[in-house]
């Protein structure tokens, strides 16, 4: 006896087993991903992030973070980045680029990313004005954002510097840098 409501050739018991297995698999995927909510706040920031080309052309300063989901420093800095993004919304673009996404390989090379988190800082014309390497506290990120929004010099913080187009690559490297770069996934 064949029924038009089920899979061909499967009895009621087999369909029930398949539904149970599918339900268990769906529950396992949700559990492994941390539930229905995205990983807060790094994943939420990345999902709201505008495209880099759009951000650099819209007349607002831009703060770009190169990050990875597995990077503890990036995850530690994420709540402060979220605070900057929400506090400066409409005045500053915050763009997140995952170093593990092959789509961003040209940007990794262009900006000589050799460790994460790495921030690239742009003025409202889309010109590079500086770089920050390493984890930043909320006050430091707010100071960087305020300098960008008010078109003021960047604060003097360890690991923050201007970039020079003469130092290497289109975006250059930190002023005074050596130009020798390791891969962005090389830190532990």
Positions annotated as catalytic residues are: 71, 74
CA distance readout (Å), 11 to 4, 15, 32, 104, 171: 12, 6, 32, 49, 64
Number of H helices, E strands in the chain: 6, 7
- Whether 110 contacts 65, CB under 8 Å: no
- Whether 132 contacts 118, CB under 8 Å: yes
Beta strands 160-161 and 128-133, pairing class: antiparallel
Q: How many CB atoms lie within 10 A of CB 52?
A: 19
Question: Could you tell me which of 66, 73, 75, 83 has the C-alpha nearest to residue 42?
Answer: 75
């Amino acid at each position: 006896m064949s029924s038009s409501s089920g899979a061909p050739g499967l009895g009621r018991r087999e369909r029930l087993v398949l539904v149970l297995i599918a339900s268990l698999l769906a529950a396992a995927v949700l559990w492994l991903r941390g539930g229905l909510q995205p990983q807060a706040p790094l994943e939420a920031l990345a999902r709201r992030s505008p495209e880099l080309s759009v951000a650099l052309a819209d007349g607002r300063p831009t703060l770009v973070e190169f990050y990875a989901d597995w990077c503890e420093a990036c995850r530690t800095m994420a709540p402060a980045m979220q605070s900057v993004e929400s506090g400066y919304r409409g005045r500053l673009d915050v763009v997140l680029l995952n170093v593990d996404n092959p789509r961003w390989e040209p940007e990794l090379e262009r900006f000589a990313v050799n460790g994460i988190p790495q921030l690239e800082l742009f003025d409202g014309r889309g010109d590079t004005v500086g770089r920050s390497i390493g984890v930043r506290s909320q006050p430091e990120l707010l100071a960087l954002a305020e300098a960008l929004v008010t078109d003021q010099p960047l604060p003097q913080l360890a690991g923050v510097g201007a970039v020079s187009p003469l130092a290497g690559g289109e975006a250059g490297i930190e002023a005074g840098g050596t130009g020798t770069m390791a891969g962005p996934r090389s830190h532990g």
